[in-house]
Structure 1
Amino acid sequence: MNSRVTDVPYEAARRRAFAVISHPDAGKSTLTEAIALHAKAITEAGAVHGKAGRRAVVSDWMRMEQARGISITSAVLRFSYRGTLINLVDTPGHADFSEDTYRVVSAVDSVVMLLDAAKGLEAQTLKLFDVCRSHGLPVITFVNKWDRPGRDALDLCDELAARAGLQPMPLTWPIGQAGEFHGVLDCRDRTMVRYQRIAGGAIAAPEKRLESAEAAAQQGVAWWRACEEADLLAASGGGFDHERFLAAEASPVLFGAALLNHGVRPLLDFLVDFAPAPRPRMDATRRPRYLDAPFSAFVFKVQTGMNPAHRDQIAFARVCSGEFERGMVVTNGTTSRPFATKYAQQAFGRQRTTLDVAYPGDVIGLVNATALRVGDTLFGSGPPVRFPRLPSFAPAHFAVARPTDIGRGKQFSRAIAQLRTEGVVQVMRSQRRGQGTAPVLAAVGPMQFDVALHRMEWEFGAPMTLEHLPYTVVRRLSDPSQRSLVDTGRRSEVLVRDDGMELAVFAGQVELAVLQRLWPDLKLDHLVGGIG
């Protein structure tokens, strides 16, 4: 064991891995870039989506993301701040890409839940929070867009407690109602932080800290109201409690305006000071994989097209234990085959640089990783280790894919296989439609089909057409010998996923009920929690 291996717990303690989650249009990618700006990882904010003449945010690098102004794939940003290495993952906010978000959440140690000041906890935000709760992840709440008209701050905190079951613990509190943002009260030292407005929020907004007496003299009623509201929450159990935060029972709350870079630095400081460092992970046998055990990691994302000039494929893996050194040969726990890590990189959005060493909490990018798939476990020396597989979500939309140019059949097949590897869509086989000439694509949401169509044409040069299928009800076929009972229906069939699971799909509940009356012994199971 070399000297660096003995420093693994120390190195892990210096790392923070967190994700930003939110409902679409809450400002998630803007906040991600504002955090990087305050950490001086970038010198100028990219842009606001939809603003002519401005660059797209660093984390939204795909052509389709920049055109539509939404995040459609997760992005990794690695940078340092105050001696701490930050691994930040920006996630898609749209419900259609919730499967990608689920994978990201499995790879981090805490999350920042972003709320729109005018909308509060929206349906998709609650679904994402439920995923975080299932992983036991601590949640920090950032109320964004306080520079615009919105709801009352106390009402938003009440909603957090009532709908998410989290005790709000304000760390900062807005001075002035939504739309009249004068600064924030630092609830820990009773000072005011006042921000200077910078056009477009292109650089980190200058700050000035005022003592209580000076803040009261300048802000008057707005200051005293902020103090009274923060005191009210503290008196009702909202004082900061680190243990309750780590136990995912309470959520620190901060207010700001990410677009203007107001209120972002306290969030970044809190993540460094109080967010959990990497902890032992449970393997597939429910045994903890301790941080100083030999190297292990799991793949949570596979992506191509990040560098159009090279057409390479990169697999993102979260390091769970031990020390990673570039060039080491690891074993893929799924296939038991060796994998060389000569081309290991760290990512900052689309930008990539060589990574020589990594420790628990880090996200490593393995280039030309065509043998790796989402959910694979990698391990170094010692006994084999496997982490739990990442589940596939139950699809709700189906379409038959066909190449526009039949002369590009091989290119079409390779491109479809790549989309399957990345998890952009699920690819299924159907005896009714042949084994490969017309695969059935399945998606959680219809926008996944838009991504697939776009990438097939612009990235892979294999444009395709989609024939949408009418299926809306999905069940798991428990007994494969009963496949013919479903396939004989006019508006039902069996689709086989690449993991071998057989899904019985029906045009509606009526078709399902008719078949069950005809064949009472037909064994069909629900997909629990919407996950297959």
Structure 2
Amino acid sequence: MFASSLCSRRKLKFSHIARLRFRLFSSTTPAHNAHVDLKKIRNIGISAHIDSGKTTLTERILFYTGRISEMHEVKGKDQVGATMDSMELERQRGITIQSAATYTIWKDHNINIIDTPGHVDFTVEVERALRVLDGAILVLCAVGGVQSQTLTVNRQMKRYSVPCLAFINKLDRMGANPDRVISQIRSKLGHNAAPLHLPIGLEGETKGIVDVIQRKALYFEGPHGNLVREDEIPQDLRTLAEDRRQELIEHVSNADEILGEMFLEEKTPSEADIKAAIRRTCLARSFTPVLLGTALKNKGVQPLLDAVLEYLPCPSDVQNYAINNNSTNEGEEPEKVFLNPARNGDNPFVSLAFKLEAGKFGQLTYLRCYQGMLKKGDTIYNVRTRKKVRIPRLVRLHADQMEDVSEVYAGDIFALFGVDCASGDTFVTDLKLNLTLESIHVPDTVVSMSISPNNTKDRDNFSKAIARFTKEDPTFQFSYDADNKETLVSGMGELHLEIYAQRMEREYNCPVTLGKPKVSFRETLQGPCTFDYLHKKQSGGQGQYARVIGVIEPLPPHQNTQIIFKDETSGPNIPKQYIPGVKKGFMEMCQKGLLSGHKLSGVCFRLQDGAHHIVDSSELAFYLAAHGAVKQVFEEGNWQILEPIMMVEVAVPEEYQGPIIGLITKRHGIITGLEGNNQWATIFAEVPLNEMFGFVSELRSSTQGKGEYSMEYSRYSPAIPEVQEKLIQEYQQAQEGGSSQTQKKKKN
């Protein structure tokens, strides 16, 4: 009646009425019921290589679950943009820069979703999201397949033992080949994977998918694909569907004992048997279900949501633990305390702060509750700082919007205002617990650039922006180079630093100038070198006396980014209270090498013997002795410079393959692989980061703007002689210039 009255009064078309009714339905936000069954909660992340369709997929999920009333495109052509890309820069560039959290309901299940960036420069956003999530959807492009950032995301999922589903997206694209992508998932990612779906047509002929478990064809009809129609499998696909079903059973049987026994006994498993086995193996990360679809064309999203409920873990399926700091003694393995995710509120509250963001009302801290409950008005403690804070407001997030809640329970992802903390801090309601959750892995920065505000009047805003961004993003670092008298910012790539420079101008009205990128080179030893250094100083009163004997040696190539200090002394020659002084002195010398001014890495300082004086020895004396020992090894040892090597993946039309290989070779790159697919070539190479600056402009001009590339850090490797000589020469000139300026000042 409501619809008919609207139609008579306003003469609206039926589609407009349907949209209005839908909007009225979806405007009610999902209920936050504290007593939701733990089995009906899913915390998932959506991760993939750049431009695989993560944000588009999230937009469809929110639409089909009734969370939003209209779908918008990532590029923001309609001046709106995708819901999860709330930052203006994200909508302009068509990329995700910050991970965004939301929540929705599908078939009475609460689903918390974090949409993460795909670009390697923002990899820490993926890292911290996966740290707190129970499961993930790994999105792959049906044309691109397994790409460089897919490998990185896969490693991150493995690091945190996150079970995942694979979703092969973009079946409608020219050159789509899901079979090739599945073989890459098996060979490149090392997954025991098999498809649950079969495509009904590809590219422009994509009509739907076949569910091989249920033996049904699924068609997605209606203006937005929201009507899922089940039908019989097309005649020409029935044999293939049965073959794929058998292939699926074989792959799952290899990982699941129960289904394996049925397979050996030649019993025919039921639909429920197969689904139960897939869930068990998916939770154990021994099998990866592969689903198909095209988010942009609204096909395959609802079956993916069903698979999230059926196969990915709920909070009680994941065993989370904290470290008991009260039981940790030096040299002993810390005691692990397993957390209880029950939503009854009987257990002490334990949560992890995994992301910081400057919001409209102060610092917004994203947390995941692992145990117990928290109410508005409660007091919590930061285990690291031992500070307490009262919680005036609790919110749940939907991109840049938020909803106030009165309480949160184990398994919930929520946010707080006004909490002073760092990313990775643990919060509890009872400090006696003294529990610490495992922190978040933060990769080392690889690029540095000088930065300065264009106008000296903007220095206050510049300081505020730097303070905020370095706190929010641990891979964005700020430092001052005393030798070159310039401020430096370091990050994961040129784009990373560019984005922050643009955000300073937009958000703080502080235009800045970025200097030439500086690569984080390292210095290391080529062979072991012994040292025997005596630090002795007598100038009336108590003197200084310390002698250190040992060897500094290079670490194996796979450890060439580490610095290790080993105390191998025995006996009373160096009292144990002076060892920290030696270690501190060595670590400080590692911050700036004497060959080119870059950090030392890949070296091990083995302290074997020494001597002390009963009166004149002190921790300071041994600290200075370690300085002298490193200088002695620098003069006597053979040193070399290491540079970061990037794994580069370039996709170009086949006719440009030769020139691009020449372009990579000219930049001292090594081609590691070639792939051809439907008139497109993918070139895999390892190239020094120092040679990659300006590559994008050359690539675009050489391919008429059709080529694209991505890169990620691979390892550190010895620099070529020309690069090493140039760096040493530049450093020496800078040192001479600095000393001459100092002498002039003294004369004046």
2:138, 2:414 → 1: CA distance? 24
Per the alignment, residue 451 of structure 1 pairs with: 499
Q: 1:294 and 2:294 equivalent?
A: no
Kindly state the Cα deviation for residue 373 of structure 1 after the two structures are TM-superposed.
1.6
1:516, 1:226 → 2: CA distance? 68
In the TM superposition, 1:285-434 aligns within 5 A as 285=334, 286-292=336-342, 293-305=347-359, 310=360, 312-369=362-419, 371-381=420-430, 383-423=433-473, 425-430=475-480, 432=482
Q: 1:30 and 2:56 equivalent?
A: yes
Q: Which amino acid aligns with 1:379?
A: V
Per the alignment, residue 511 of structure 1 pairs with: none
Per the alignment, residue 118 of structure 2 pairs with: 93
Q: Which amino acid aligns with 2:46?
A: V
Give yes or no for contact 1:425–1:452 (8 Å, CA) kept in 2: no
Give yes or no for contact 2:41–2:314 (8 Å, CA) kept in 1: yes
Per the alignment, residue 134 of structure 2 pairs with: 109
Per the alignment, residue 201 of structure 2 pairs with: 176
1:150, 1:157 → 2: CA distance? 15
Per the alignment, residue 310 of structure 2 pairs with: 273
Task: Encode CA deviations 1:296-333: one digit per residue, 9 max, x unaligned.
Answer: 1111111125xxxx363211011111112122110011
2:45, 2:169 → 1: CA distance? 16
Give yes or no for contact 1:331–1:338 (8 Å, CA) kept in 2: yes
Give yes or no for contact 2:65–2:106 (8 Å, CA) kept in 1: yes
Q: Which amino acid aligns with 2:226?
A: A
Per the alignment, residue 41 of structure 2 pairs with: 15
Kindly state the Cα deviation for residue 398 of structure 1 after the two structures are TM-superposed.
0.8
Kindly state the Cα deviation for residue 71 of structure 1 after the two structures are TM-superposed.
0.4
Give yes or no for contact 1:355–1:364 (8 Å, CA) kept in 2: no
1:297, 1:129 → 2: CA distance? 25
Task: Encode CA deviations 1:393-448: one digit per residue, 9 max, x unaligned.
Answer: 111001233222222323322221111110164324346269xx954321122211
Do the aligned partners of residues 516 and 229 (structure 1) sit closer, same or farther apart at CA in structure 2, a change above 3 Å counting? farther
Per the alignment, residue 322 of structure 2 pairs with: 283
- Is the helix fraction higher in 1 or 2? 2
Higher relative contact order (CA 8 A, sep 6+): 1
* TM-score for the superposition, normalised by structure 1: 0.84
Give yes or no for contact 2:447–2:491 (8 Å, CA) kept in 1: yes
Kindly state the Cα deviation for residue 490 of structure 1 after the two structures are TM-superposed.
7.0
Kindly state the Cα deviation for residue 472 of structure 1 after the two structures are TM-superposed.
3.4
Per the alignment, residue 506 of structure 1 pairs with: none
SS of 1:260 mapped into structure 2? coil
Task: Encode CA deviations 1:355-393: one digit per residue, 9 max, x unaligned.
Answer: 222122211111233x12211111113522211222321
SS of 1:313 mapped into structure 2? strand
Give yes or no for contact 2:352–2:369 (8 Å, CA) kept in 1: yes
Q: Which amino acid aligns with 1:221?
A: D
Give yes or no for contact 2:164–2:312 (8 Å, CA) kept in 1: no
SS of 1:465 mapped into structure 2? strand
In the TM superposition, 1:227-238 aligns within 5 A as 227-237=242-252
Task: Encode CA deviations 1:273-298: one digit per residue, 9 max, x unaligned.
Answer: 33111134121343312224311111
Q: Which amino acid aligns with 1:40?
A: G
Give yes or no for contact 2:521–2:598 (8 Å, CA) kept in 1: no
Task: Encode CA deviations 1:130-177: one digit per residue, 9 max, x unaligned.
Answer: 110121111101110112233433332222122222222332221224
Q: Pick the aligned partner of 1:167 from 149, 173, 192.
A: 192
Give yes or no for contact 1:398–1:443 (8 Å, CA) kept in 2: yes
Do the aligned partners of residues 321 and 439 (structure 1) sit closer, same or farther apart at CA in structure 2, a change above 3 Å counting? farther
SS of 1:283 mapped into structure 2? strand
Q: Pick the aligned partner of 2:520 from 472, 479, 486.
A: 472
Do the aligned partners of residues 481 and 10 (structure 1) sit closer, same or farther apart at CA in structure 2, a change above 3 Å counting? same
SS of 1:336 mapped into structure 2? coil
Give yes or no for contact 1:424–1:448 (8 Å, CA) kept in 2: no
Per the alignment, residue 725 of structure 2 pairs with: none
* TM-score for the superposition, normalised by structure 2: 0.61
Q: Mark the runs of 5 or more structure 1 residues left unpaired by the alignment.
A: 1-6, 496-513
Q: Pick the aligned partner of 1:118 from 139, 143, 159.
A: 143
Give yes or no for contact 1:150–1:179 (8 Å, CA) kept in 2: no
In the TM superposition, 1:145-160 aligns within 5 A as 145-160=170-185
1:441, 1:525 → 2: CA distance? 21
Corresponding pairs, count: 489
Kindly state the Cα deviation for residue 181 of structure 1 after the two structures are TM-superposed.
1.5
Give yes or no for contact 2:366–2:415 (8 Å, CA) kept in 1: yes
Q: 1:41 and 2:41 equivalent?
A: no
2:114, 2:144 → 1: CA distance? 24
Per the alignment, residue 230 of structure 2 pairs with: 209
SS of 1:304 mapped into structure 2? strand
Kindly state the Cα deviation for residue 224 of structure 1 after the two structures are TM-superposed.
4.1
1:334, 1:481 → 2: CA distance? 26
Larger radius of gyration: 2
Give yes or no for contact 1:19–1:89 (8 Å, CA) kept in 2: yes
Percent identity over the alignment? Answer: 22
Q: Which amino acid aligns with 1:106?
A: R
Do the aligned partners of residues 189 and 487 (structure 1) sit closer, same or farther apart at CA in structure 2, a change above 3 Å counting? closer
Task: Encode CA deviations 1:77-130: one digit per residue, 9 max, x unaligned.
Answer: 112222221110000001111111111100100110001011111111011111
SS of 1:98 mapped into structure 2? helix
Do the aligned partners of residues 13 and 317 (structure 1) sit closer, same or farther apart at CA in structure 2, a change above 3 Å counting? same
Q: Which amino acid aligns with 1:112?
A: I
For the aligned residues, what is the CA RMSD? 3.1
Per the alignment, residue 240 of structure 2 pairs with: 225
Do the aligned partners of residues 157 and 492 (structure 1) sit closer, same or farther apart at CA in structure 2, a change above 3 Å counting? same
- Which range is displaced more, 465-474 or 480-489? 480-489
Kindly state the Cα deviation for residue 464 of structure 1 after the two structures are TM-superposed.
2.4
Give yes or no for contact 1:425–1:449 (8 Å, CA) kept in 2: no
Q: Which amino acid aligns with 1:294?
A: P
2:212, 2:591 → 1: CA distance? 62
Q: Pick the aligned partner of 1:248 from 274, 282, 285.
A: 285
Kindly state the Cα deviation for residue 16 of structure 1 after the two structures are TM-superposed.
0.7
Q: Which amino acid aligns with 2:288?
A: S
Kindly state the Cα deviation for residue 19 of structure 1 after the two structures are TM-superposed.
0.3
SS of 2:518 mapped into structure 1? coil
Give yes or no for contact 1:302–1:374 (8 Å, CA) kept in 2: yes
Per the alignment, residue 504 of structure 1 pairs with: none
2:199, 2:339 → 1: CA distance? 42
Do the aligned partners of residues 250 and 367 (structure 1) sit closer, same or farther apart at CA in structure 2, a change above 3 Å counting? same
Kindly state the Cα deviation for residue 25 of structure 1 after the two structures are TM-superposed.
0.7
- Which range is displaced more, 464-473 or 327-336? 464-473
- Which range is displaced more, 246-255 or 377-386? 377-386
- Which range is displaced more, 455-464 or 27-36? 455-464
2:518, 2:196 → 1: CA distance? 50
Kindly state the Cα deviation for residue 189 of structure 1 after the two structures are TM-superposed.
1.6
Q: Which amino acid aligns with 2:195?
A: P
1:193, 1:174 → 2: CA distance? 10
Per the alignment, residue 491 of structure 1 pairs with: 596
